[in-house]
Amino acid sequence: MVLPVSAVASVAPTSYLDTTMTTSGTTGAADFGSTLAGAVDNLQQLQSTSDTLAIKAVTGDLNDIHQATIAATRAQVTMEVVAAVRNKGVEAFNEIMRMQA
Q: Which sign does the torsion angle of CA 53, 55, 59, 65 carry?
A: positive
> pLDDT, tens digit, for every residue of 41-53?
999 999 999 999 9
Question: Could you tell me if 44 and 18 are in contact, meaning their C-beta atoms sit under 8 angstroms apart?
Answer: no
Domain layout of the chain by residue ranges: 30-100
What CA–CA distance (Å, rounded) separates 22 from 39? 16
pTM of the model: 0.64
> pLDDT, tens digit, for every residue of 41-89?
999 999 999 999 999 999 999 999 999 999 999 999 999 999 999 899 9
